[in-house]
């Protein structure tokens, strides 16, 4: 579970992170679709459906980071699972696909970024 630090510095760094992710939104979403396709996950979905879901997940992640309200993201994940698991997508495919994609965000790291998030 991620716990957000509550200092001015971490708030500013979080804003920078969100700005970076917004600026690179198109490229990162496209990379998500490629990664999902290459791993042969979500094969019950078309590439267009995967891209649409990747867009929704990406935007939900950003909103959660901005607002620090993760309930909407959890609700979206439940809704996504309810919609695509009956179509033959395995539960682990959903989890692995979008968790791995989120870890692909290319965020410049430095000593200053460490206070943003603590595990």
Q: Which residue has the higher pLDDT, 101 or 79?
A: 79
As a whole number of angstroms, the distance between CA 36 and CA 55 comes to 13
pLDDT of residue 76: 81
pLDDT of residue 23: 93
Q: How does residue 14 score in pLDDT terms, banded at 50, 70 and 90?
A: confident
Residue ranges of the domains in the chain? 11-112
pLDDT of residue 104: 62
pLDDT at 107 over 60: no
Q: Under a CB-based contact definition with an 8 Å cutoff, are residues 28 and 58 in contact?
A: yes
In three-state secondary structure terms, 69 is: coil
């Amino acid at each position: 579970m991620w716990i957000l630090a509550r200092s001015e510095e971490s708030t500013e760094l979080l804003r920078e992170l969100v700005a970076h992710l917004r600026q690179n939104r198109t490229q990162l979403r496209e990379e998500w679709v490629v990664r999902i396709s290459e791993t042969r996950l979500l094969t019950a979905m078309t590439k267009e459906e995967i891209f649409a879901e990747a867009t929704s997940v990406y935007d939900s992640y950003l909103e959660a980071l901005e607002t620090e309200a993760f309930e909407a993201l959890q609700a979206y994940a439940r809704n996504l699972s309810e919609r695509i698991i009956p179509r033959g997508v395995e539960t682990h495919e959903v989890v692995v696909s979008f968790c791995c994609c989120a870890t692909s965000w290319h965020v410049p790291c430095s000593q200053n970024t460490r206070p943003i998030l603590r595990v």
